[in-house]
């Protein structure tokens, strides 16, 4: 399925961050609004509660003052005190008017109405010059009921404060629950967006990484394809161009190797045959110095021919898939053949070649198995110190034939083991002899062993190098061995 990508990787990142942050910003804004509403409600409730409490207490104080003044008027019969009563009454009516503007329940309204109407009745009696004493006493006694109404207002105000506090607590708990469920609902949404955009971002990057690794390993068969933002796709196109260029360079290198190897093989064959004729004294008896020179010529022509054969083998393996012509092979016979081929080189270095091989038959390509063992032994001869020992062992183990070649040279550093079988890679330690290796002998070993379905590895060794080849046995070979 074709995915839509922004034109640039930066835009893809911005879109991803925006979509991931949007739900979180929404939740944050919603929570801020809820908190602000709760704070405003709490502020209004506190203000109204304080006003109601102050007004209730003021009503009670004014009623007490009016009652005291009224009793003085009644007891002393001094109507001049009406002015003080009028002043206190005006304050009472003003406080009642302020209190009426506050939100309160029906009980408080009724109590306030009774206070206003009751005080008006008392004022009417006190203002009446013809009012009798019993009438005045009854009017004054009505202040008891008015004071009770004032206490009712104060009590109801306290209850109203408690109800507002409970309502605010309930609102806070509801806001908390709402915030919790919003965050809980946002978790899968944000997780989905994060995972989705991570995959969108990681996909082209992983394709680029895989392409670079593929090119680094020298695997040029698969084309480089990058699906993503336009700038990353352009980077993939550049990698594809690099792959095609590397293929062209590899083909040119292989053609050069084949041509040079073939051009060198013919004169080298004549040179080797001439050196062998001199060594065999076919043209006359040689002096010891002449025989030594002829032997040097012969030995180095053999080494040079070995290098050219390695180049030809490598070029052939790169030009076409390595095929294996299987036939029954006597492993000991192949080892002895290789030992005979290496006899001159071993003797020239003063080395000792020890062979410990079990009698085993293997279904394999005889010539390729010889090349594998010959390259390993040649490598061991090259890096062995003078008068050293080279050991070649062959045994059946775990349904496979194991070939081990061990020397007493400098060994293979652990950091070089991963690349030692790469074409043209040469270790830091130079081998003995006037000719430097091409670095393809072990790569040919790897190609031929893999063609047999086997493996080759460097084994840890206390001294020198230890290389092991494992070639699996066929079912028939396993039955015969059993």
C-beta atoms surrounding 164 within 10 Å: 18
> Does the global pTM surpass 0.85?
no
- The pairing of beta strand 327-330 with beta strand 361-364: antiparallel
CB 222 within 8 A of CB 214: yes
Cα(104)–Cα(95) distance, integer angstroms: 15
Mean pLDDT by 10 residues, the chain (482 residues): 56 69 74 74 69 72 79 74 80 76 70 79 75 74 78 73 73 76 75 72 81 79 80 82 84 71 67 73 75 75 71 59 81 90 82 88 88 88 88 88 90 82 66 52 84 89 89 62 50
Give the pLDDT confidence score for residue 128 in this predicted structure.
Answer: 73
CA distances from 439 to 129, 226, 392, 422 (A): 136, 35, 22, 8
- Largest Cα–Cα separation, the chain: 178
**346: which residues sit within 8 A by CB, 6+ positions away?**
352, 353, 381, 390
DSSP string, 192-255: HHHHHHHHHHHHHHHHHHHHHHHHHTT--SSPP---SSHHHHHHHHHHHHHHHHHHHHHHHHHH
Cα(242)–Cα(249) distance, integer angstroms: 10
């Amino acid at each position: 399925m074709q995915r839509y990508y922004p034109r640039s990787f930066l835009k893809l990142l911005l879109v991803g961050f925006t979509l991931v942050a949007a739900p979180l910003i929404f939740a944050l804004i919603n929570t801020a609004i809820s908190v602000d509403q709760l704070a405003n409600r709490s502020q209004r409730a506190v203000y109204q509660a304080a006003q109601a409490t102050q007004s209730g207490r003021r009503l009670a104080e004014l009623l007490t003052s009016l009652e005291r003044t009224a009793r003085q008027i009644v007891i002393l019969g001094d109507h001049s005190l009406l002015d003080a009563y009028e002043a206190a009454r005006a304050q009472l009516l003003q406080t009642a008017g302020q209190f009426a503007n506050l939100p309160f329940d029906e009980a408080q309204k009724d109590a306030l109405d009774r206070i206003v109407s009751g005080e008006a009745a008392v004022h009417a009696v006190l203002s009446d010059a013809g009012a009798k004493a019993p009438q005045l006493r009854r009017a004054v006694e009505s202040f008891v009921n008015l004071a009770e109404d004032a206490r009712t207002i104060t009590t109801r105000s306290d209850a109203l404060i408690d109800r507002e506090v409970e309502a605010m607590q309930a609102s806070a708990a509801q806001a908390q629950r709402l915030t919790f469920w919003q965050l809980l609902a946002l978790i899968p949404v944000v997780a989905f967006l994060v995972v989705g955009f991570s995959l969108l971002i990681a996909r082209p990057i992983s394709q680029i990484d895989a392409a670079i690794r593929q090119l680094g390993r020298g695997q040029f068969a698969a084309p480089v394809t990058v699906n993503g933002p336009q700038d990353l796709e352009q980077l993939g196109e550049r990698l594809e161009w690099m792959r095609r260029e590397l293929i062209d360079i590899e083909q040119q290198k292989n053609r050069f190797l084949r041509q040079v190897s073939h051009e060198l093989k013919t004169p080298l064959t004549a040179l080797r045959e001439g050196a062998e004729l001199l060594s065999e004294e076919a043209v006359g008896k040689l002096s010891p110095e002449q025989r030594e020179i002829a032997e040097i010529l012969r030995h180095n022509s053999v080494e040079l021919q070995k290098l050219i054969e390695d180049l030809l083998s490598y070029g052939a393996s790169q030009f076409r898939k390595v095929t294996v012509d299987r036939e029954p092979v006597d492993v000991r016979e192949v080892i002895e053949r290789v030992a005979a081929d290496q006899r001159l080189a071993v003797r020239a270095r003063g080395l000792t070649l020890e062979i410990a091989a079990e009698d085993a038959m293997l279904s394999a390509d005889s010539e390729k198995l010889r090349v594998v063992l010959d390259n390993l032994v040649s490598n061991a001869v090259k890096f062995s110190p003078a008068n050293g020992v080279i050991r070649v062992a062959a045994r059946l183990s775990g349904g496979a034939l194991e070939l081990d070649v061990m020397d007493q040279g400098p060994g293979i550093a652990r950091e070089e083991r991963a690349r030692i079988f790469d074409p043209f890679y040469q270790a830091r330690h130079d081998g003995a002899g006037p000719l430097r290796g091409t670095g393809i002998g072990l790569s040919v070993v790897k190609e031929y062993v893999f063609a047999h379905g086997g493996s080759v590895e460097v084994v840890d060794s206390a001294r020198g190098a230890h290389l092991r080849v494992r070639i699996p046995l066929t079912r028939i070979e396993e039955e015969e061995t059993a």
